[in-house]
């Protein structure tokens, strides 16, 4: 549990708590842009003009599954969501069988469950949800719940809990839970993309090396192991100059200077040294790596073995 609001509710305390919970960045008095799933708009009527009202603006109706055995409490929740201009499509279930069936046949954005239900509990519903591998935000909407029990529920995966005598918090809690889910999904997609790119690098027939702007090796794929004879464990943390012939001392300096200026080098034919001492002809493509702000933070080098082609060219010249 990140915070709580004590009754009677003081709005200044409420808004400070919302900001501390990480929602202050959400736009006040601005329409939702294409990139925003949620925002906080300025309200009218419930408070003075200089104070924001927690109105949740969604790109689409939020599909909510209520796990509640008291229809009157469901109506109170829906009333609060309507007051906050939160458009929802809601379904109600009361039994474990109904809960399982709804999850099997319908996609929901969030689950709102009472803690004490007839013959089971909201935590039973959460356990079933996690058992099925569904990452759906889950909020407990319940009566009195001790602090120790609340902390235990959050530890087990509850996104938040709302007391039924403080339902005004419900729209903000939903807003926060949906935003956290959005961030989790973005992070997961990013991790999957990185794993995919890493697999491409590892399966490439070309040697791919990542290094700092000082020429210190950070990554070394399997093709680099085959090309140069060094293992990744041997080369990570070593200077790239290990591969440079002694008679080419200025080549690396020139390459690093160009990288620092943000310039790349394409299909540069040169010579490198293997671990066994043999020299090989390679075609190098070296590119700067930039961060989100456009600053050059490193470099990638792709090397292809062209020894056979260069040997054939030299033999052809001799024959002519």
Domain ranges of the chain: 11-186, 200-319
Return the pLDDT at 318.
87
The superfamily in CATH containing domain 11-186 is Response regulator (3.40.50.2300)
Looking at the domain covering 200-319, what would its CATH class be?
alpha beta
Return the pLDDT at 249.
82
Return the pLDDT at 319.
84
Return the pLDDT at 198.
87
List own/partner pairs for 142-146 with CB under 8 A and 24 or more apart.
142/114, 142/115, 142/116, 143/115, 143/116, 145/115
Distance (Å, whole) CA 19 – CA 40: 11
Rounded to two decimals, the pTM is 0.61
Cα separation values, 164 from 142, 244, 282, Å: 5, 71, 71
Mean pLDDT, consecutive 10-residue stretches, the chain (320 aa), reads 46 44 36 32 32 47 94 93 91 95 95 93 93 93 80 89 91 93 93 89 92 95 96 96 92 93 94 96 95 93 95 88
In DSSP notation, 233-248 reads: HHHTTSBGGGGS-TT-
Q: Do domains 11-186 and 200-319 have the same CATH topology?
A: no
Which alpha helices (H) appear in 160-290, and where do they start and end? 170-203, 222-228, 232-235, 249-260
Return the pLDDT at 78.
94
Return the pLDDT at 45.
31
């Amino acid at each position: 549990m990140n915070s709580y609001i004590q009754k009677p509710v003081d709005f200044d305390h409420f808004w400070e708590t919302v900001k501390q919970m990480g929602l202050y960045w959400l736009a006040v008095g601005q329409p939702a842009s294409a990139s925003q799933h949620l925002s906080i708009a300025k309200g009218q009527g419930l408070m003075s003009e200089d104070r924001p009202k927690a109105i949740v603006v969604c790109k689409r109706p939020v599909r909510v599954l209520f796990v509640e055995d008291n229809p009157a409490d469901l109506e109170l929740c829906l009333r609060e969501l309507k007051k906050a201009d939160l458009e929802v499509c809601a379904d109600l279930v009361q039994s474990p069988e109904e809960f399982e069936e709804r999850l099997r046949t319908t996609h929901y954005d969030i689950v709102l469950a009472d803690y004490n239900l007839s013959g089971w509990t909201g935590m039973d519903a959460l356990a079933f949800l996690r058992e099925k591998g569904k990452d759906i935000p889950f909020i407990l909407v319940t009566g009195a719940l001790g602090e120790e029990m609340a902390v235990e529920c959050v530890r087990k995966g509850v996104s938040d809990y709302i007391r039924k005598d403080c339902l005004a918090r419900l729209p903000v809690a939903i807003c926060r839970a949906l935003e956290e889910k959005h961030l989790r999904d973005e992070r997961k997609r990013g991790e999957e993309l990185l794993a995919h790119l890493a697999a491409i690098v590892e399966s490439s027939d070309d040697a791919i090396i990542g290094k700092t702007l000082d020429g210190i090796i950070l990554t070394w794929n399997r093709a680099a192991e085959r090309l140069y004879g060094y293992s990744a464990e041997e080369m990570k943390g070593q200077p790239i100059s290990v591969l440079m012939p002694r008679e080419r001392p200025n080549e690396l300096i020139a390459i690093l200077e160009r990288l620092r200026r943000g310039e790349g080098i394409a299909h540069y034919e040169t010579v490198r040294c293997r671990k066994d001492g043999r020299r090989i002809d390679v075609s190098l493509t070296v590119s700067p790596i930039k961060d989100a702000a456009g600053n050059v933070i490193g470099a990638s080098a792709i090397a292809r073995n062209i020894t056979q082609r260069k040997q054939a060219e030299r033999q052809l010249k001799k024959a002519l």
